[in-house]
Structure 1
Amino acid sequence: MNLSAHYNKLYYESAAKIANGDYEIDELIDAQDDYRFGITLVIRPDESTKANIQRFLTEVKAIDPHQYYYQDADLHITVMSIISCYTGFNLRQINVPDYVKLIEQILIKHRNFKIQFKGLTASPSCILLQGFLTDTLNEIRDDLRIGFKGTNLQQSIDKRYTIQTAHSTIIRFRRALQNKNGLLKLVEKYRNFDFGTFEVQQLELVYNDWYQREKFVNKLHEFHL
């Protein structure tokens, strides 16, 4: 996949929709009865990168404080959604050590790799960081697909979509945009901003809600590359 072309297409299509007021508001983000949970393998950015992200988010908050902004602890890249979030899932339904053992066996041959967050893109419902990855991440994903396919473990890999990017969601629209033109100008300002390059040395297996909010996330295991 040509990531630059993919991110650009997504941005221009989504920016046009946002400008026309044809964006999507997440009606569940403040719901008290949202019981969608799953387990996910994730990457966390380093402190320097997170600081750059928060500086951008501070600028956006100044023009529209009522949207949903990701805190440092919630920032992540999805390596693989092992069990996509669904209502009613809980850890009692699976044997976590079986998942840990399988993932350890899969990761043993892989080494550290780097990810760069450079620029922003958008969807009709959120603003995302453009993540650029090395071949290693997709090799890990392919090995996870093969590994889980050969087991009877509960999983839903690729059932929603086949993940190929390294994007990270940082803003979700929770209310009508107060200043959509101001938001788009800020996003345009940071379209090619280098938020940072970091070395991925560990992956986390987490039990999580749909939004990966720290108050709901339970870290099940940390894998070192």
Structure 2
Amino acid sequence: MNLTEHYDKLYADSVAKIASENYETDQLIDSKSDNRFGITLVIRPDEHTKNNIQTFLTELKNIDPNQYFYTNEDIHITLMSIISCYDGFNVNDILIDDYIKLIKVAIGKQEAFKIQFKGITASPSCILIQGFLTETLNEIRDKLRFTFKNATLQQSIDTRYTIQTAHSTVVRFRKALQNIPHFLQVLEKYRDFDFGTFEVKKIELVHNDWYQRAEFVRKLYDFELSEPHAR
């Protein structure tokens, strides 16, 4: 996949929908009865990168504070949804140690690697930070797919879609957008903004809700990556 082309097309298509008020709002994000949970492997950007993202989000908040904005605690990249969130999932019904052992086999002696967050894109319901350098990510993903395919543990890898990017969702539309022209101006301002490059030194296995909100996320295990060898 050419990530730049993918992000560009997503941005153009989604901005056109937003401009024509053909976007989507999330009807469940404020629901007290949303019981969709699962387990996920996630990557967290460093504080410097997250703080740059908050500068961008603050500009959007000043225009339209009614949308859902991710806090620094919540910002993440989904490496792989092991069990995609569904209503009624109970983490106590599975043996987490079995998942940890299997993921260790898949990850092996993976070296730390870097991801760049540069520019923003959009979907009809979200604003996303663009992540680049996913060759290593996709190698890890392929190893996880292979390892879990040959195991008997409950999993739902790739059942919703085959994940290939390194984006991070940072805004979700929860209500009708206010001042769409000004909102789109800010998106265009940050279209190619360099939010930062960070080293991925660990991968987290978490029990999470649909939105990866810190109040509902429980860390299950940290998979530490080895120091890169000099080349």
With normalisation by structure 1, the TM-score equals: 0.99
Whether contact under 8 Å (1:37, 1:90) holds in the other structure is: yes
Q: 1:183 deviation in Å? A: 1.0
Once the two structures are superposed, what CA deviation does each residue of 1:138-194 show, in whole Å capped at 9, x if it has no partner? 100000000000100000000000000000000000000011111111000000000
Where does residue 130 of structure 2 map in the other structure?
A: 130
User: Is residue 67 from structure 1 mapped to residue 67 from structure 2 by the alignment?
Assistant: yes
Range with bigger deviation, 128-137 or 68-77: 128-137
Q: In 2, are the aligned partners of 1:41 and 1:206 still within 8 Å (CA)? A: yes
Query: Which residue matches 2:153?
Result: 153
Residue 164 of structure 2 corresponds to which residue in structure 1? 164
Whether 1:174 and 2:174 are equivalent positions in the alignment is yes
What code does the residue aligned with 1:17 have? K
Distance 1:77 1:41 in 2: 9
- Residue 185 of structure 1 corresponds to 185
Paired residues of 1:133 and 1:165 also in contact (CA < 8 A) = no
- Specify the SS of the correspondent of 2:122: strand
What is the aligned-residue identity percentage? 67
2-side partners of 1:142 and 1:25: how far apart? 33
Matches within 5 A, 1:1-225: 1-225=1-225
Shift of 1:134: 3.9
Unaligned runs of 5+ in 1: none
> Is the partner of 1:15 in helix, strand or coil?
helix
Distance of 2:63 and 2:147 partners within structure 1: 46
Paired AA for residue 95 in structure 2: N
Q: Structure 2: 5+ residue runs without aligned partners?
A: 226-231
- Number of matched pairs: 225
The Cα offsets for residues 186-209 of structure 1, whole Å up to 9 and x where unpaired, read as 000000000000000000000000
Code of the residue aligned with 1:175 in structure 2: it is K
Q: Per-residue CA shift, 1:89-117, capped at 9, x if unaligned? A: 01111000000111112112311111000
Distance 1:64 1:91 in 2: 36
- Mapped to 2, the partners of 1:169 and 1:44 lie a distance apart of 12
Tell me if the contact between 1:40 and 1:207 (Cα under 8 Å) persists in the aligned partners.
yes
Check conservation: 1:114, 1:134, Cα contact below 8 A: no
C-alpha distance in structure 2 between counterparts of 1:144 and 1:24, whole Å? 32
Q: Distance in 2 between matches of 1:206 and 1:161?
A: 20
Secondary structure of 2:79's counterpart equals: strand
Contact 2:134 2:166 survives alignment (8 Å): no
CA distance in 2, matches of 1:205, 1:179: 39
SS in 1 for 2:73: helix
Distance 1:49 1:89 in 2: 33
Q: Secondary structure at the match of 1:223?
A: strand
TM-score if structure 2 supplies the norm length?
0.96
The alignment partner of 1:23 has SS state of coil
Asked if the contact 1:42/1:204 (under 8 Å) is kept, the reply is yes
Runs of 4+ in 1 over 4 A off after TM superposition: none
